[in-house]
């Protein structure tokens, strides 16, 4: 069964210093952390913070290509977790056809944010990732995530975006 989730923020794994995107179900009773790369975290963070650049970044470019081709991102599904690796599909529609494209969850999430597409997670994935009941600690988690996101964004160096001018 698929459960609709929303992005509630980014944080940093204190042990590995790896970015983590946090998804919560709509009722805010279950959460799932997905470890992602720095560039993908950057793409998600800039969209969450409504930061725009003079030139399109990769996920913005993909959004524009889909728009020009008349293809809509219908939804993103994170459907499996094997060997500590999450698997996602992007469901696309255009020209009366439906397409399912394999994607890394971080890329699929970054594109879903830009296209206002819903994100779903297979219930078995939530169970495999040791779903967290966050009912009573929502405010504490939100404050922690906000602080860590601010730290993450404030400490991004120009090198994190590559050598190309934006």
pLDDT of residue 161: 55
Residue 134 in this model has a pLDDT that exceeds 50: no
DSSP readout, 32-98? Answer: EEEE--HHHHHHHHHHHTT---SS--HHHHHHHHHHHHT-EEEEEEEEEEETTEEEEEEEEEETTEE
List beta partners, residue 97.
Answer: 94
User: d(Cα 156, Cα 165) in Å, to the nearest integer?
Assistant: 15
**pLDDT band with cut points at 50, 70 and 90 for residue 54:** confident
Residue 16 in this model has a pLDDT that exceeds 70: yes
pLDDT of residue 150: 65
Residue 91 in this model has a pLDDT that exceeds 60: yes
Domains of the chain plus CATH, in order, are 2-157 (3.10.690.10)
Mean pLDDT confidence for 143-166: 60
Of 1-10, 46-55, 56-65, 91-100, the range with the lowest mean pLDDT is 46-55
């Amino acid at each position: 069964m698929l459960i609709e989730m929303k992005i509630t923020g980014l944080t940093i794994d204190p042990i590995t210093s790896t970015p983590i995107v946090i998804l919560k179900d709509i009722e805010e009773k279950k959460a799932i952390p997905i470890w992602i790369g720095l560039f993908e975290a950057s793409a998600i963070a800039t969209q969450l913070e409504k930061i725009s650049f003079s030139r399109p970044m990769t996920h913005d470019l993909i959004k524009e290509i889909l728009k020009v081709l008349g293809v809509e991102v219908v939804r993103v599904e994170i459907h499996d977790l094997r060997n500590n690796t999450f698997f996602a599909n992007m469901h696309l529609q255009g020209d009366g056809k439906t397409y399912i494209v394999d994607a890394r969850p971080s890329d699929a999430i970054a594109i879903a944010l830009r296209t206002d597409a819903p994100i779903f997670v297979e219930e078995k994935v939530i169970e495999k990732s040791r779903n967290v009941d966050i009912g009573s600690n929502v405010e504490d988690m939100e404050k922690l995530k906000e602080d860590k996101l601010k730290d993450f964004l404030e400490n991004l160096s120009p090198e994190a975006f590559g050598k190309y001018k934006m």
